[in-house]
Amino acid sequence: MSTYSKMSKLKQLIQQLPKAELHLHIEGTLEPALMWSLAKKHNIDLPFSSVEDIQNAYQFNNLQSFLDLYYQGADVLRDQDDFFELMWAYLCKCHEQNIVHTEIMFDPQTHTQRGITYDVFMPGFAKAIDKAKTELGVSVYLILSFLRHLSEDSAIATLQEAQPYYSMITAVGLDSAELNNPPSKFQRVFASAGSLGFKLVAHAGEEGPPEYVWEAINLLKVDRIDHGVRSIEDPKLMAYLKQHQVPLTVCPLSNLKLCVVDDMSEHNIVDLLNDGLCVMVNSDDPSYFGGYLNENFYALVDKLSLTEQDIVKLISNSISASFLPEQQKHEWLTRIQHICPS
Ligand code: HPA
Ligand code: ZN
């Protein structure tokens, strides 16, 4: 079989297998066309002259250069319908790409800081999530993420304000500018969230050093690490992650766009997988980074020698590392096994 037809067979398999996505920021799914139409709707002056001009601005040299545009973009989200539309568009994409379960981060402080309250965004999200459940069969969990460039007191207040919506939330997370904002800054709020019964995740080892991954594990007691690709620099950490099967939610196109790697052919996801770590593929902020979940897989197929077995393992890991009940995990894993008997 030619290399081309081998690759297209792998891409078909990626489309066909039921998948979970575990690292996705809903604000990062805001497509330029929706940003443009919401700006028009609310009479907001954007510093762009067209939808294409917005798209062309998405060239980043590090995490901060992206975050600046990401927070600016989120300013067009003003009313309940906007949040519904944002969430609904992403969940339709999940349906298209055969993502059967997704665990979505949202950043309350991005909205509350500009006077948009939980009572605006949560009902908008809820309406889209309920509709997706009944009309598309996509299941959704939410992860409330704290902005780490803000204070821990602000995170504590953010968790408290979410109280009327706790039943909609599965986990808390930690995102935004990593360097100089170590996990240790958020020990108290993670301890409270843990004692309230929330699952815990944190971005670490994206731009930050392996030490931040250790802190997320030892001080925040996280269930998963978001990104974590810099763990490979610390052999002791690698051994720990393997032994305890701590999931790393890796985001290839994000790493490329934010210059964490110079070229996709240098991405370490296959090394992490071959070292026995529980890694899987995610899209992070698909509108900004040039692709949703399947496009992240396709970029790996194009640039790394990924086998069918690797793909099945990555996708099975997405199910195993999710916060779904064990019975549901088992059902999806069995379905994957039927499609791809090993
Ligand atoms: N890293 C940190 N914060 C973020 C990201 C990311 O990749 N995406 C959205 N917020
Ligand atoms: Zn992220």
342 closest CA partner among 319, 321, 311: 311
Pocket test for ligand 1, best of 69, 72, 284 (most atoms within 8 A of CB): 284
Pair of tokens at residue 287: 């509108």
Question: Which amino acid makes up residue 242?
Answer: K
The span from the CA of 330 to the CA of 20, in Å, is 13
Ligand 1 close to Cβ of residue 203 (< 6 A): yes
Report the nearest-CA residue for atom 10 of ligand 1.
Answer: 176
Ligand 1 close to Cβ of residue 206 (< 6 A): yes
Pair of tokens at residue 273: 């997988």
Query: Hey, is 280 helix, strand or coil?
Result: strand
Pair of tokens at residue 19: 């998948």
pLDDT at residue 5, rounded to an integer? 87
What strands lie across the sheet with 99-106, from one edge to the other? 19-25, 99-106, 139-147, 169-175, 199-204, 224-227, 248-250, 279-281
Pairing of strands 279-281, 248-250: parallel
Q: What angle (nearest 5°) sits at the alpha carbon of residue 107, between those of residues 40 and 49?
A: 25
DSSP state of 277: -
The span from the CA of 210 to the CA of 201, in Å, is 16
Cβ-based neighbours of 243, under 8 Å, separated by 6 or more:
none
pLDDT at residue 3, rounded to an integer? 86
Ligand 1 close to Cβ of residue 85 (< 6 A): no
Pocket test for ligand 1, best of 30, 66, 212, 287 (most atoms within 8 A of CB): 66
Ligand 1 close to Cβ of residue 145 (< 6 A): no
Ligand 1 close to Cβ of residue 63 (< 6 A): yes
Distance from the CA of 293 to the center of ligand 2, in angstroms? 13
What atom of ligand 1 comes closest to residue 285's alpha carbon? 8
Pocket test for ligand 1, best of 21, 23, 63, 109 (most atoms within 8 A of CB): 63
Grouped pLDDT means (10 residues each) for the chain, 342 residues: 88 97 99 98 97 98 97 98 99 98 98 98 98 98 99 98 98 98 98 99 98 99 98 98 98 98 98 98 98 98 95 98 98 97 83
What atom of ligand 1 comes closest to residue 207's alpha carbon? 1
- The answer to whether 313 and 273 are in contact (CB under 8 A) is yes
pLDDT at residue 1, rounded to an integer? 80
Q: How many CA atoms lie within 13 A of 81 on its CB side?
A: 5
- The answer to whether 126 and 166 are in contact (CB under 8 A) is no
99 closest CA partner among 260, 286, 288, 269: 286
Query: Hey, is 319 helix, strand or coil?
Result: helix
Give the ligand at the shortest distance from the Cα of 24: 2
What is the pTM for the complete model shown?
0.98
- The answer to whether 17 and 312 are in contact (CB under 8 A) is yes
Ligand 1 close to Cβ of residue 175 (< 6 A): yes
The span from the CA of 247 to the CA of 268, in Å, is 15
